[in-house]
């Protein structure tokens, strides 16, 4: 069986919960998002959003610190990289 590429997906449930997930090359699905909370609850539920990086849960401050390099890489202008 060949190795497959990692995939990022966003899943929204009928209850309004949004999951940002990462599927690794072995097919394991983990919550992950360097841009926003990986699990976002509707405001009406009154639950706090949850922050994950590659399946590991962090509080907001630690997530913000650890996701900074990911967010910086996402905002690089491709034209700046050309010679």
Whole-prediction pTM? 0.75
E-strand stretches of 1-83: 7-12, 18-23, 29-31, 39-40, 51-53, 56-58
Is residue 17 one of the residues assigned to a domain?
yes
Is residue 27 one of the residues assigned to a domain?
yes
- Is the predicted pLDDT of residue 77 greater than 50, yes or no? yes
Is residue 71 one of the residues assigned to a domain?
yes
Is residue 51 one of the residues assigned to a domain?
yes
Is residue 49 one of the residues assigned to a domain?
yes
Domain count, the chain: 1
pLDDT at 3: 53
- Is the predicted pLDDT of residue 7 greater than 80, yes or no? yes
pLDDT tens digits for range 29-75: 999 998 899 999 999 999 999 999 999 999 999 999 988 887 776 66
3-state secondary structure of 82: coil
Instruction: Tell me which residue range forms the domain holding 30.
Output: 7-76
């Amino acid at each position: 069986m060949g190795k497959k590429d990692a995939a990022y997906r966003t899943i929204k449930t009928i209850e309004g919960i949004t999951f940002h997930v990462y599927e690794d090359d072995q097919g394991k699905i983990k919550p992950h998002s360097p841009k926003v909370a990986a699990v976002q609850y509707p405001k009406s539920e009154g639950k706090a959003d949850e922050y994950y990086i590659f399946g590991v849960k962090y509080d907001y401050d630690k997530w913000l610190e650890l996701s900074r390099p990911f967010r910086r890489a996402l905002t690089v202008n491709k034209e700046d990289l050309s010679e």
